[in-house]
Amino acid sequence: MINKIGQIMLYVNNQDEAVNFWTEKLGFSVISDENNGQGMRWIEIAPTKDAETSIILHNKELIAKMDSGLNLGTPSLMFFSENLEKLFNDLSSKNVTVGEIVNMPSGRVFNFADSENNYFAVMEKSKQL
C-alpha cells in the first residue's frame, strides 16, 4: 500500500541553474547533492529540511541518453502556500515570471515559471489543525 509521495523527479537542462532558482527564488533547501562518479548527478531539494516530499533534479540530456523510457516532460505540480499574496509579491520582486492570482472553486491560485520556462502552480491553503 502506498501511503505518501516521497520524491518527484524533475528533469532539467541545467542542474546548477535549477538549484539556484529553487533555492534563491523559492527558498527551498538542498537536502543532498549526489554524484555516482560516472557523470550521473542528482540533487534533492525541498521546501523545508523535514518535508515529506522532495524534488530530485536530474540532468534531462543524460537521462534521455540512457533510453530508459521515462517521460522526461515537466510534471504538473501544485504547491501550497499559507500566504499567497506574500509569495506572489516575493516572486515578482525576484523577477520570477508569475501569472495573475485567480479564484478557483478550490481556492486562490497563481502560476510561476522556473528558469527553463516550466510552469508550476501555487494554491492558498492554510494549515490543517
What pLDDT score does 114 carry?
A: 97
What pLDDT score does 103 carry?
A: 95
| Residue finishing a domain among 71, 88, 116 | 71
32 and 88 both lie in a single domain: no
- The answer on pLDDT for 6 being more than 80 is yes
Q: Containing domain of residue 29, as a range?
A: 1-71
Looking at the DSSP assignment, which residues form a beta bridge with residue 102? Answer: 109
What pLDDT score does 129 carry?
A: 46
| Residue 98 belongs to domain with CATH number | 3.10.180.10
Distance CA 99, CA 112 (A): 6
Distance CA 124, CA 73 (A): 26
- Residue 99 pLDDT class (50, 70, 90 cuts): very high
Q: What percent of the chain has pLDDT over 70?
A: 98
| Residue finishing a domain among 30, 53, 71 | 71
pLDDT digits (tens, 9 = 90+) for 13-32: 999 999 999 999 999 999 99
80 and 65 both lie in a single domain: no
- When divided into structural domains, the chain yields a total of 2
Looking at the DSSP assignment, which residues form a beta bridge with residue 110? Answer: 122
56 and 22 both lie in a single domain: yes
Q: What percent of the chain has pLDDT over 90?
A: 85
